[in-house]
Amino acid sequence: MGRAAAVDRVERIVEAVESEPMPVPVREVWAFGDVVLGLDPVARLDVYVTKDLLFKDRPGAEAEFEASHGMQGVGKTVSADWAEAFPEHLRANANGHAAPEKCLGAHLLPEDEPVHLEVCNTGFEDNVTQRLRGAQARGDWTQVLDPRAACLWVDTEDGGVRSEEAFRKLRAGEFVFPTLSESLSMLGLDEAEANAAADAVRRSRAESEGASVRGDVV
């Protein structure tokens, strides 16, 4: 998508998080990868959402939604109030349980745009490191996160705070980052590992189409 359209899409995601009920509490929204590099067009827009785990919500809601929608976990893993307001965005995993990451993806992403949403209960920087260490241990670079990123919105005790400066830099293409392989080397990979990981990330982007969502629990 064009660069301006990609930034507009990120801003609409932040606006939704700021103003609409979410299936689970959202703590942070980041943009990472191509969109923060000033590229135009952006081959794929990468967005990272840090969420809280929802352990319990409304008593009795799970049984109600299982009876009405054939889905377990509403009121336990995703908000019952959200599910009532946005039933069209309810999504389940393969076991028939409401899946927070899929619900967030359905709520925040149009299906026909090249946008990837990463959803995790830990912050972006911590997850970059954890995913990289796991990939290094396995010798499998397919799940590495591009560490080049900008935090756009953070939840605080006083409410959500948007970084207008980060959005300004994003629109102007003013963020300055090293290459992907150099960024991965700075996180501890040797040159061969960094090149292999960077190639895997680029292949994954090139092979993906439409909207996609990945969920992590750390």
Read off the pLDDT of residues 35-64 as tens digits, 9 standing for 90 and up: 999 999 999 999 999 999 776 667 778 788
Block residue for tokens 């501890």: 188
CA-to-CA distance for 10 and 45, rounded, in angstroms? 8
Share of the chain above pLDDT 70, in %: 98
Q: What is the pLDDT of residue 64?
A: 83
Q: What is the pLDDT of residue 135?
A: 94
Residues 6+ apart with CB under 8 A from 129: 187
Q: What is the pLDDT of residue 108?
A: 97
pLDDT in tens, 161-174: 999 999 999 999 99
CA-to-CA distance for 75 and 67, rounded, in angstroms? 13
Average pLDDT over residues 170-183: 95
Tell me which amino acid residue 183 is: S
pTM for this predicted structure = 0.93
Q: What is the pLDDT of residue 67?
A: 85
3-class secondary structure, 145: coil
